[in-house]
Amino acid sequence: MFCFVSMFLLIFSIPIFSQDTVGPEYKIEWKYKAKPPDHISNHVLVTVNNIIFAMGGRNYKENDHNKYSYMYDTVKDKWYVRRDTPYSHSNHAAVTIDGKIYTVGGNSNSEKLEGYDPDSDTWVLLAPIPSPRQHINYSAAAVGKKIYVFGGIERKGDQFLGVINKNEVYDIESGLWEEKAPMPVQRQCIVAVEFRDKIYLIGGMGEDYMDKNDVFMYDPIADEYLKKSSIPIKRMPIGAAVVGDKIYFVTGVRPEQSVSMVFVYDPENDKWSKASDVPESFRWAETTSCGGKLYIIGKQVCLEGTIIGK
C-alpha cells in the first residue's frame, strides 16, 4: 500500500448527506503515524492492553498469503515484529478474549482456528471451524468466552459452496463449536462488532458480490436477530470499532470511488451520522480502536483518528 512519508495533521469534514438523513456530523482529526514495517493488506487488526496487533494478510510484493505478525505501540509510535502465525491467512477474522487473540478462517487454511498469547509470543492450534470459510474479513466477534463467526464463502476442499449465512460459535472453555441461528441474509465480509454484549452486523457483500447496507443486531442469549437502521450508503467495509458509546464504521473504495468514508452509529438511538472522511483511499485495510482513538492500518499506512466532537 502507498505511504505518505511526511507527518501532518489533516481534518476532513465534507457533509455529503442531509442532516435529516444522517444526523449531525462528527469531526475526526486524522494523523499519520509510523508506517508498518511491510506492505500489508487483507490482514486482521486487534487491540490488547492498548497495544495493536496486525497479523497475516496478503503481501503483494510476494503475491501470496503470509504469516507475518506485527505489534504497534501507540504511545511510542513504534512497530515490532512478533512470531509468525502457524499458518498463512488472508481475509480472515480475529477477536480478543481475556488478553488472548484468536484468528479464524480466511482465504488460505480456511478451517484453522489459532490462539495467540501476546505475553509469551506463542501460538496454539485449536479445534478447526466446522464450516471452513473465506472472505470473513471483520466477520467475528466475542461475547463472554465465546467467539461468533458470521457468513463468508464456505469452502470444502477445493470446492466453493457459495456465500453463506451461518453463525458458528466456539467456546474457549469447552473447546467445542456449535451452530447457532443463521443470519437473515447471506453475507461475506460482513462487519461484526460487539457492543454491550450484543453483536451488530453491518454491511458486507451479498451473493451477488454487491455492497450492502443493511444492519442487524444479534442477541447471543436469545439467539435472535433484530433489523436496525441501514447505513446511509452502500460501500465495501474496511472494518469498524467502538469508541465511547458509538460504533465507527469505515468504508473502503472500489476502482470508481476515491475516498474512504466514516459513518457513526448510535446503538441507543439506532441512528447513523456522517463523520470526517479518511485522508487516504483504502481498498483493503483494517480498523480498530485503542486509547479512545481510531486506527486504520493498511498498505504501508497507519492513521490515528481523534474524535473531536460534532
Domain ranges (residues) in the chain: 127-228
CA 81 to chain centre: 21
In angstroms, rounded to a whole number, what is the distance separating the alpha carbons of residues 261 and 78? 26
Q: pTM, whole model, 2 decimals?
A: 0.90
Q: In this structure, are residues 279 and 299 in contact, taking their beta carbons and an 8 Å threshold? A: no
How far apart, in whole angstroms, are the C-alpha atoms of residue 117 and residue 18?
46
Query: How would you write the pLDDT of the chain (310 residues) with one tens digit per residue?
Result: 333 333 333 333 333 333 334 444 899 999 999 999 887 888 999 999 999 999 998 776 666 778 999 999 999 999 999 999 999 999 999 999 999 999 999 888 999 999 999 999 999 999 999 999 999 999 999 999 999 999 999 988 777 789 999 999 999 999 999 999 999 999 999 999 999 999 999 999 999 989 999 999 999 999 999 999 999 999 889 899 999 999 999 998 876 666 889 999 999 999 999 999 999 888 778 999 999 999 999 988 999 999 997 7
- pLDDT at position 61: 63
What's the confidence (pLDDT) of residue 200?
Answer: 98
Grid cell digits, residue 245: 458509546
Count CB-CB contacts under 10 A for residue 201: 26
User: What are the distances in angstroms from CA 53 to CA 60, 79, 267, 285?
Assistant: 20, 10, 27, 13
Contact 94, 104 (CB under 8 A): yes
At 126, which amino acid appears? L
The three cell numbers of residue 36 are 508498518
Whole-number Cα distances in Å, 304 to 130, 278, 289: 37, 10, 9
Query: Computed from CA positions of residues 4, 257, 214, 264, in that sequence, does the dihedral angle turn out positive or negative?
Result: positive
Using alpha carbons, list the distances in angstroms from residue 230 to 150, 201, 227: 18, 11, 9
Q: How far apart are CA 110 and CA 135, in angstroms?
A: 9
Angle at 274 between CA 77 and CA 49, to 5 degrees: 30
108, 126 in Cβ contact below 8 A? no
| CB-based burial, 16-29: b 16+ in 10 Å, e otherwise | eeeeeebbebbebb
CB of 273 closer than 8 Å to CB of 227: no
Of 262, 248, 284, which Cα lies nearest the Cα of 92?
A: 284
d(CA 310, CA 28): 9
